[in-house]
Chains A and B, each alone.
Chain A
């Protein structure tokens, strides 16, 4: 690695200015189309800007943030976002762990692993907007799910209007998020599991450890960095949940009773007609950003501290 670097250095000393030339397009576009908009979001969050105050909006300090914190709708959106994320992350993780343990197991030898992986991953590639619209159709009173539950199997005595019931609508959103992501997570976990050296399992087997014991004391602890990766990406993504609840619930504010109103949906509602309150919408984005960064950093610290403690304990016993 070091030798390679030196080689480059020797070869390039005279042409290093090309480095600047080659990164120029990135820098120019990034500054204009990403950094400036981000700075603009922060700025707008401190103003009373609407879409029509193009000149100089008034700087009102943290008024947007204060009014949001006192806004019931914002609180609903905030709790919903967490609830919907948790309700999809937990089942998704359990499913993915079970699947990954099956796929990676050397004693189990499941046939058709490639096929199952490919099928479970498919929903992740499909347009979320369409998936939400599709399930809205499936769940109507005359839809196929009610036909199946009432007509075919008789589980229900009469059709249920799922998407007009708060709990059912929430469960549907959680289900769809799980449905779209469990395969992806399982595949990432399998890759992590197969990268664990077999020698760990061999020596545990010699000591007479059971499959379950090995899973909990070898696989899971060694999988920690990947679990952390999955947790943080899922959290950051979950905080931005938008397409599925919006299209499923058929209204900008996540009906019935704002059951699935997420922060991003609320932000979008503030941005659009009739409010057009860009400043207020920007403040929601800023809050979302700080919350998800803050939680990510805490999670990161927790995982690392936990590791540190264990290492220290080991050193003591050794």
Chain B
């Protein structure tokens, strides 16, 4: 019994050492970035510090001297990420609602097609999309990065599963008897009912859009006024400023901080949402 206990304790200690090592490997690179964003280049060159420095404002001033408009990039990223997320959640829900509530010809064919399309990789579409946008003059505008969000097969798939479980038919019947129009029923009854699922989808959609690099690289590379943060990051990296470490670290931190703040508040919710799409039953 005692040897068993001892053995178990050794295993347990080893497990914690393993877990804490992994924690350090994930945490330290991010922490070091945030700390370095507040330190001067000379301080950074002397090595790692655990406490933040006082050079944050100075670093910000240096960045502004680069001629790269980070606030504008932040704004562009926010516009694209927010509007594409809202469109994708609303229209995916609307499409899924149609599949759950109504019966119409080709419904199953349509849904099968939606599922198949979730497996098509992005780049198959991207190059044809790029040439097509170039041909119709929409290259270097934001629209090609926002409008396609209306048709998101993965979103429809998610909400179909979700509404199948969450929607009660009696509720819709009752609303019809009260004389509500079909569209009102969707907006006033189905939409609030699906709020928890919509919220999960919105978070993941927002993060994906915020971090997205290849589509904006193809579509808005040529117009610096529309550059999103990932494109700005690329310019910072390629630029001649890469030896201004403090400022560069601050630039990097700006791209991560909004996501880190959202995650700090909602981490439990987000972690629970990860396995939603993958594990059923």
A4-31 CB mask vs B (1 if < 8 Å, else 0) is: 1001110111011111111101110110
- Tell me whether B47 is interfacial, beta carbon within 8 Å: yes
A108-130 CB mask vs B (1 if < 8 Å, else 0) is: 10100010111111110111111
Bound Cα distance from A137 to B29, whole angstroms? 11
Q: Do A191 and B278 touch across chains, with their CB atoms under 8 A apart?
A: yes
- Tell me whether B178 is interfacial, beta carbon within 8 Å: no
- In the complex, which residues of chain A have a beta carbon less than 8 angstroms from the beta carbon of B124? 38, 41, 285-286, 288-289
- Tell me whether A97 is interfacial, beta carbon within 8 Å: no
User: Looking across the interface, which residue of chain A has its beta carbon closest to that of B238?
Assistant: A250
B54-69 CB mask vs A (1 if < 8 Å, else 0) is: 0000000000000000
- Tell me whether A169 is interfacial, beta carbon within 8 Å: no
Bound Cα distance from A279 to B18, whole angstroms? 49
- In the complex, which residues of chain A have a beta carbon less than 8 angstroms from the beta carbon of B25? 179
Q: Do B91 and A127 touch across chains, with their CB atoms under 8 A apart?
A: no
The size of the chain A interface, using a CB distance under 8 A, is 101
- In the complex, which residues of chain B have a beta carbon less than 8 angstroms from the beta carbon of A278? 127, 130-131
Q: Do A25 and B150 touch across chains, with their CB atoms under 8 A apart?
A: yes
Contacts A12-B102, A138-B29, A144-B48 given: A264-B214 contact, CB under 8 Å? yes
- In the complex, which residues of chain A have a beta carbon less than 8 angstroms from the beta carbon of B115? none
B77-96 CB mask vs A (1 if < 8 Å, else 0) is: 00000000000000110110
A160-199 CB mask vs B (1 if < 8 Å, else 0) is: 0000000000000000000100011001101110010000
- Tell me whether B107 is interfacial, beta carbon within 8 Å: yes
Q: B94, B182, B210: which contacts A25 (Cβ < 8 A)? A: B94
Q: B45, B126, B260: which contacts A142 (Cβ < 8 A)? A: B45
Bound Cα distance from A22 to B275, whole angstroms? 29
Q: Do A125 and B151 touch across chains, with their CB atoms under 8 A apart?
A: no
Q: How far is the CB of B125 from chain A (nearest CB, A)?
A: 5
User: Looking across the interface, which residue of chain B has its beta carbon closest to that of A271?
Assistant: B127
User: B residues 127-157 with Cβ under 8 Å of A?
Assistant: 127-132, 134-135, 144, 147-148, 150-151, 153, 156
- In the complex, which residues of chain A have a beta carbon less than 8 angstroms from the beta carbon of B17? none
**How large, as a class, is the contact surface on chain B?**
35 or more
Bound Cα distance from A91 to B249, whole angstroms? 29
Interface centre among A49, A121, A151, by most B CB within 10 Å? A121
Q: A29, A119, A147, A250: which contacts B23 (Cβ < 8 A)? A: A119
Q: Do A102 and B15 touch across chains, with their CB atoms under 8 A apart?
A: yes
Q: How far is the CB of B242 from chain A (nearest CB, A)?
A: 8
Bound Cα distance from A23 to B238, whole angstroms? 44
- Tell me whether A89 is interfacial, beta carbon within 8 Å: no
Q: How far is the CB of B89 from chain A (nearest CB, A)?
A: 13
Bound Cα distance from A144 to B102, whole angstroms? 60
Q: Do A22 and B172 touch across chains, with their CB atoms under 8 A apart?
A: no
- In the complex, which residues of chain B have a beta carbon less than 8 angstroms from the beta carbon of A20? 98, 104
Bound Cα distance from A125 to B26, whole angstroms? 12
- In the complex, which residues of chain B have a beta carbon less than 8 angstroms from the beta carbon of A127? 210-211, 213, 229-230, 233, 255-256, 259
The 9 closest A-B CB pairs, nearest first, are A19-B102, A40-B128, A41-B128, A191-B275, A22-B98, A30-B151, A37-B129, A19-B104, A37-B128
